[in-house]
Amino acid sequence: MTINAHTHVSDARWTQLLDDAISGEGVECHFQPIIDLDHRVVVGYEALARFTHPEAGGMSPDVWFARARARGLQAELEAAVLRIALRQRAVLPKDCFLAVNVEPDSLRHTKVRDVFDSERDLTGLVVEITEHSAWEWVDLEPSINYIRSKGALIAVDDAGAGYSGLQQILELRPSILKLDRAIVHGIATDEAKVALVEMIGLFASRVDAWVIAEGIETLADAKRLADMRVPLAQGFLFARPQADFGDLDQGIAEQLAAFADQTGDTLHRLIETVPTIRVEESASHAWSHMDSQWVVVVDGDQRPHGLVNPAAAIAGELISTLTVNVNTTPAEVAQRISTSRSEPGPPVLVTDDYGALLGIVTIRRLLGKLSSLAG
Q: What is the pLDDT of residues 186-232, one digit of tens each?
A: 998 888 898 889 888 888 888 889 999 999 999 999 999 998 889 99
Find the angle CA(336)-CA(363)-CA(273) to the nearest 5 degrees.
110
CATH 3.20.20.450 intervals, the chain: 11-260
Amino acid at 85: A
| Across 58-72, 109-123, 148-162, 190-204, least confident range | 148-162
Contact assessment for residue 168 and residue 137, using Cβ atoms and an 8 Å cutoff: yes
**pLDDT band at residue 370 under the 50/70/90 scheme:** confident
**pLDDT band at residue 37 under the 50/70/90 scheme:** very high
Q: What is the mean predicted confidence (pLDDT) over 92-118? A: 94
| Across 117-126, 285-294, 307-316, least confident range | 285-294
Q: What is the DSSP letter of 7?
A: S
The pLDDT, as a whole number, for residue 4 is 44
For the stretch 1-6, contacts whose Cβ atoms lie closer than 8 Å and that sit 24 or more positions apart, written own/partner, are: 1/55, 2/54, 2/55, 2/57, 3/55, 3/56, 3/58, 4/58, 5/58, 5/59, 5/60, 5/63, 6/58
Nearest CA among 91, 88, 138, 140 for reference residue 112: 140
| Spatial separation of the C-alpha atoms in residues 354 and 362, rounded to whole Å | 22
Please say if the pLDDT value at position 2 is more than 50: no
The pLDDT, as a whole number, for residue 5 is 43
Cα–chain center distance at 130: 16
Q: What is the mean predicted confidence (pLDDT) over 125-136? A: 80
Q: What is the mean predicted confidence (pLDDT) over 36-55? A: 92
CATH 3.10.580.10 intervals, the chain: 268-374
Q: What is the mean predicted confidence (pLDDT) over 71-85? A: 96
The pLDDT, as a whole number, for residue 6 is 39
Please say if the pLDDT value at position 13 is more than 70: yes
Q: Across the chain, what does the average pLDDT equal?
A: 87
| Spatial separation of the C-alpha atoms in residues 338 and 370, rounded to whole Å | 14
| Residue 344 burial (C-beta neighbours within 10 Å; 0-12, 13-18, 19+) | middle
The pLDDT, as a whole number, for residue 1 is 33
**pLDDT band at residue 263 under the 50/70/90 scheme:** low
**What top-level class would CATH report for the domain 11-260?**
alpha beta
Sheet of 323-325, strand order: 323-325, 348-351, 357-361
User: Which residues touch 13 (CB under 8 Å, ≥6 apart)?
Assistant: 55
Amino acid at 328: T
Please give the CATH topology (third level) of the domain spanning 268-374.
CBS-domain (3.10.580)
| Across 82-86, 145-149, 265-269, least confident range | 265-269
Torsions phi, psi of 36, nearest 5? -85, 110
Of 281 and 143, which is predicted with more confidence?
A: 143
| Spatial separation of the C-alpha atoms in residues 156 and 174, rounded to whole Å | 6
Contact assessment for residue 231 and residue 37, using Cβ atoms and an 8 Å cutoff: yes
